[in-house]
Structures are given as C-alpha cells and as structure tokens.
Amino acid sequence: MELKLESVALTLDGGHRAIQEVSLTLARGERLAIIGSSGAGKTSLLRLISTGLRPSLGALRIEGRDPWLLSRRSLRALRGRIGAIYQAPPLPPRQRVVTAVLAGRLGRWPLWKSYASLAYPADIPGARAALGRVDLAERLFDRCDRLSGGQLQRVGVARVFYQQPELILADEPVSALDPQLADRVVGELNRESTTRGVTLVASLHAVDLALRWFPRVVGLREGVVTFDLPPVRITDAMLTELYASESPMPPTQDNRPLELPSAHLAPVAGANQPLCR
C-alpha cells in the first residue's frame, strides 16, 4: 500500500499543533522508522496515517486517494487493510487473548462469523500461529488482565499479524519488552513486511532498534521532519539535536550507549549533510 503525506499539519483538540508540516512518500512494501523525543508528534502522525485523525492542513493520500473523501463503506474497507499497533494496547481486561487476537479480522469476516466467534473462537490455529510469532502461544486462552504490560503489547502485535493488513502502523510497539524480545518482535515486523510486501511505519523510542532494522529512518522534532535518511548517513550530531530536550544521549532499548552504523564508515564528503528530503 503506497502512501503519501502532502504538507500535512495537525492541530489537536485543545489547540496544540502536534504536526507543523510533514511531507512523506512511501512506496508499497517500504519500511520506515520514526524516531524522536516524547511529544515530538510521532503518535499523532501515526494516528493521522491510520485515518484516526483528520489532517487540519494538507492531504493524506493512500493508494493515490484521499481516504477522507471516500464513502463510509469504502473507508471501512480501507481501514480493514490498515493495521495499527498501539503503545498502550486497547484490549479489554476481561477478554481472553484468543478473542482479542481474532478481533483483528472483524473488518473482513462475514457478520455471522464475527458473531459466532463470540461464543466459540472461529480460528484457534490462526490465533495460535500469530501469537507464536511473538512467543506467546501458550497464553492463548488466558484473560488479558492476567498478562504483564509487555505481554499485552505482544498480543497487540499478534492481532495485527492475524489481521494481515497491507499497511502496518506501529506506535512504540516494543517499549515494554526486554531488549532480546524487543529485537525479536521488531525483526518479525520487518520480516512480515519483506515477505508479504506490507508497508511498515514504526515509531520507536529506542534508536538502536531503528538503526538496526530499518532502511529508512525519519527524525521528528516538534512536528517537523528533521532528517529522512538511511541509517548509515545518520550522524551523532543529528541524534543529539533530536533528543536534546530529553536526554544528552539517544535512548536505546538496553540503555547502553548507541553505536552508530556511520561510525564504522570512513568519513565521506557530505556524510554529515543535514536534512535530505
């Protein structure tokens, strides 16, 4: 699913301008990581792309069309092909994991199947497979309120895997996981993208994960893109500037100092160019 942001701006209820001006183009199957400090606008940007929020200025184009001009039915169909992973998984506490995962296909299933699944889960093997990819298959029939924060995050990821969307928008999907597991999940997301041609946009707090897995990294600061580069072209200076308001060193999943890919390369003229659109 190709998508394009054309000079998009977003003002939230309450007047805060979450996104000043962002223009971005993604081809089908492309993988993009967004990094930036808290409050930079990462979550708002993802919600905007998922058609959860409407841009105040500019336009969003998914597959060449503005989703906000579609009919209700077409918009619903489109949304069924977009999968969103939330930092705080929106899962009802008393629901069982299997039902939560299967809910990913509510947009695609025929009505009778969706209703029937409430009484007896309609696709246990499918749910199990999705959970297996995030190492959680054994908790299939547990209630969500018996899971830790990290496990809940993984259920949210499993739901999107089960949904099999054409665009995945992941908002800090591994913030509550330990470094090994986080790496594994981010790897799975990337694998999903490369094997099935799914466009992937992930906002990550841990810069090391972004640099390790994604061929394209966008830095977001106060609602504006400060750089849009492959990891080898990203310098220390760029990252320090990005996270200046938050911490002296860029954050990592395991809290160890960041190793830049660019540090391993011989200095190349122009390697420290800022802003490349």
Starting at the edge strand that comes first in sequence, how are the strands of the sheet with 167-171 ordered? Answer: 57-62, 3-11, 17-26, 224-229, 217-221, 31-35, 199-203, 167-171, 82-85
- Is residue 119 part of the contact set for another protein (CB under 8 A)? yes
Backbone φ and ψ of 151, nearest 5°: -65, -40
81 binds another protein (CB under 8 A): yes
Q: Distance between CA atoms of 208 and 132, rounded to whole angstroms?
A: 25
Kindly provide the residue ranges of all beta strands, DSSP E only, lying in 15-134, ordered along the sequence: 17-26, 31-35, 57-62, 82-85
Q: CA–CA separation, 233 vs 187, rounded Å?
A: 21
Q: Quick one: which segment of 72-80, 202-210, 233-241, 254-262 binds another protein (CB under 8 A)?
A: 72-80
| Shortest Cβ 182–another protein spacing (Å) | 20
Pick from 27, 57, 116, 118 the residue near another protein by CB under 8 A.
118
Among 32, 103, 202, 207, binds another protein (CB under 8 A): 103
Judged by CB under 8 A, does residue 149 bind another protein? no
The answer to whether 80 contacts another protein (rule: CB under 8 A) is yes
1 vs 260, which CB is nearer to another protein? Answer: 1
* Other Cβ atoms closer than 10 A to 229: 18
Q: Backbone dihedral region of 226: left (phi > 0), alpha (psi from -120 to 50 degrees) or beta?
A: alpha
Pick from 7, 116, 141, 187: which binds another protein (CB under 8 A)?
141
* 128 makes contact with another protein (CB under 8 A): yes
What is the sign of the dihedral through the CA atoms of 238, 263, 35 and 87? negative
Of 29-37, 91-99, 214-222, 255-263: span binding another protein (CB under 8 A): 91-99
Residues found near another protein in the complex (CB under 8 A): 50-52, 76-84, 86, 88, 90-96, 98-99, 103-104, 106-108, 111, 114-115, 118-121, 124, 128, 137-141, 143, 163, 165
